[in-house]
Amino acid sequence: MRVENKRCCDKGYTGIDVFRLVAALLVITIHTSPLAGLSGTADFILTRIVARVAVPFFFVTSGFFLISRYNYQTAKLCAFVRKTALVYAAAIALYIPVNLYNGYFRMDYLLPNLIKDIVFDGTLYHLWYLPASIMGGAIAWGLVRKLDYRKAFAAGAALYLVGLFGDSYYGTLEHVPVCSSFYALIFQASDYTRNGIFFAPVFFIMGGFIADKGDSGENRGESGSVNKCEIVREQSGCRTSKSVRTASEKTVSGKAVSGKKAWMTGVCFGLMLALMLVEGLALHHFQVQRHDSMYVFLPPCVYFLFLVLLQFRGKRSVWLRDLSLIVYLIHPMMIVVIRMAAKVLRLQGLLVDNSVVHFLSVTSVSVAFGAAAVALWGRFGRKPKKRDTSTDRAYIELNLENLAHNVAVLRKAMPPKCELMAVVKAEAYGHGMCETAVQLDKLGVRAFAVATIDEGIRLRRCGVRGEVLILGYTAPERAWELRRYDLAQTLIDYAYACRLHERGYRVKVHVKIDTGMHRLGFDAGCHIEEIMDVFAMEHFNVNGIYTHLCAADSLDEEDVLFTKQQIADFYSVLRRLKKEGIRIPKIHIQSSYGLLNYPELKCSYVRAGIALYGVLSSPGARTRLQLDLRPVLSLKAKVVLLRFVPKGETVGYGRTFVADRDSVIAILPVGYADGFPRSLSNRGSYVLINGGWAPVVGRICMDQLAVDVTDIPGVEVGMTATLIGYDGGEEIAAPVVADESGSITNELLSRMGSRLGHMY
């Protein structure tokens, strides 16, 4: 999936970025004890209790970005492991001189100890964090993939509990023979239970859980998403439509709720920190600690700390991420440098013995070194490649800002308590299913509709959460996949429901009611007892019941009467079910035209397909609601050749175009195999080039088409032609192209993109 520009609606996690550096400085306090010269108790509180949130915070952050939404993508885990391993290898190499100086390589049993340190403890005291990240991230990723979050967290918590009694609570069990023998075996492999097996996984899982459940402090609902785009537009001076401004004004009432939630989160963090302080001091007083890294209240403390940090959103500060990593890695080297400098300058009393000055000196030098390294890397390091469409013969361009706008407009038109169900089947109508669905997920959409189980599985592997409804047929033999990927299956009739139920897997289902389309579903007039039986089937979790309005796009009197009868028949089924004591699940009737022509219907979902992408099926379609929808997709191609065709010569297959004058013909490398209809040949269709209208001439081929640019000055090879979309002040609308080809927009768009790149 290729992305060109930053998404306008994204805001960086400023709180996380800033606290990365704070956490790195807290790690320095652990290794320099800045308050030791003032108060032993105060230094213990700072370095052995408060600063212990630093490394777990790093783990939660990694889990937040690694696991959620992408917990089925092995490539993302591999990339994380590979990058962390490279950093670890570089750090090991960096500290070889220090290891030589302190006699590390002269220890007894060097090889087994070296293996143990590389795998668990780090070859220098602070490097344990890197192998713990690799191991903990892999364990957490595997647990979340195989189990749900609840079970994965239970497993991570169990590992943490084992580690707890090998760390801060060791003294409570060390005299129990079985336990002491068990931990003796553990300590032969690792000097600490604070490692990638017992310590890290629970924090990685916690980070993924926070992101997956949406506890990120951003309002993922209607108004929150629009408001973010609104801010960007205001800053850039762009015009904002009235509908978007109105939607963004709804955030005012939401701010109080958000503020209250933030306040409560802060209180919870303060409470957990206070409890951890009491716990740490009590353990220290009774001297039961073998080490002092793991506390009962450390996970909840870090959890609420992370939620507090997520409340702070703003401009991304990627350089803080890099700076914090360098400070973490380099500060032991700076401790050595400061001590050597103090010895040479005979300033040990100031730079070393004075704990506060020692901490400040190490911190200052470490941050200065890190800042210089980040600056040099930014200047001379390898920069990410920018998306370059100049190498593409043709491509689909997608405007994610318009997608966010359409979501807001549709939500505003929907009845209260009604949710948007985004129809993303057929590659999201040619827009690219995964990228589109992930973007919608970020906008707070929590229900999706697909046509097949394989489309549903792809959504899950892209990390899309919430309800995923399969509108079409799935073989009952694949019921285990419905369960595994938490997909909802449409029950297309009673016999099918029985076959699916016999597979013995508890799955989510939606009951389809046939109210006159006579395609899929239980007959509204004849099958009420069969529908009731479905609700009683023990292996079904009936999440929804719906029908499809087959003539909702028409306002002709006959079609309106038919549609109203469909609606009446559907609600009649619901009344009969309710009369029999059956709890009615979520209902949905409206597709795009169902909302546009029957907005008064109070349903649980609106299944928005074509309208979500900013277009209607046909040009000039009459609808009761006239919404400010904006097209998301454009189709563009490069001019790869200019040919002079003398008067009387022909162009293309069948010699259907004969030049009536000396002409300049531009060749575009796009054809019907890319979804541009062959039926547009010789039908008076146009493309836009250099602000002018260029008629398509001759037959459209599988891979190329020809346009006449004789009357458009300045056309050159390499210029971009727009087949669908805007060029300057002109537009070629997808519904018009579809209509001219004898089809509808839905078909036109869904046939595009099988071999074209997508630029978002």
Residues marked as catalytic: 425, 653
Rounded to whole angstroms, the Cα distance separating 245 from 265 reads 30
3-state secondary structure 312-329: CCECCCHHHHHHHHHHHH
Rounded to whole angstroms, the Cα distance separating 587 from 549 reads 13
Enter the tokens of residue 331.
């500060």
Rounded to whole angstroms, the Cα distance separating 741 from 679 reads 5
What are the CB-based long-range contacts (under 8 Å, 24+) for 392-395? 392/638, 392/757, 393/637, 393/638, 393/640, 393/669, 393/670, 394/635, 394/636, 394/637, 394/638, 394/668, 394/669, 394/670, 394/674, 394/756, 395/636, 395/637, 395/756, 395/757, 395/758, 395/759
- By the 8 A CB rule, do 198 and 134 touch? no
CA distances from 407 to 149, 272, 623, 660 (A): 29, 39, 18, 48
Instruction: Please report, as a single letter, which amino acid is at residue 504.
Output: G
CA distances from 90 to 94, 111, 129, 319, 380 (A): 6, 20, 14, 20, 19
Whether the CA torsion 679, 682, 684, 689 is positive or negative: it is: positive
Whether the CA torsion 745, 750, 755, 760 is positive or negative: it is: positive
Rounded to whole angstroms, the Cα distance separating 218 from 224 reads 7
Secondary element (H or E) of residue 156: helix 149-164
Instruction: Please report, as a single letter, which amino acid is at residue 375.
Output: A
Instruction: Name the 3-class secondary structure at 152.
Output: helix
* Residue 48 per-residue DSSP state: I
- CA Rg, the chain, in Å? 32
- Token look-up 């951003």 returns 218
CA distances from 245 to 7, 228, 248, 406, 595 (A): 19, 11, 5, 13, 21
- By the 8 A CB rule, do 474 and 482 touch? yes
Angle formed at CA 579 by CA 577 and CA 584, multiple of 5 degrees = 45
Dihedrals φ, ψ of 407, to 5°? Answer: -60, -45
Number of residues assigned to the chain? 760
Nearest to 753 by CA among 680, 674, 679: 674
- By the 8 A CB rule, do 718 and 690 touch? no
Secondary element (H or E) of residue 730: strand 730-732
- Token look-up 């704990």 returns 355
Rounded to whole angstroms, the Cα distance separating 48 from 41 reads 10
- By the 8 A CB rule, do 390 and 637 touch? no
Number of helices (H), then strands (E), belonging to the chain: the values are: 28, 21
| β-bridge pairing 720-727 and 686-689 | antiparallel
Instruction: Name the 3-class secondary structure at 263.
Output: helix
* Residue 219 per-residue DSSP state: -
- Token look-up 């799955």 returns 507
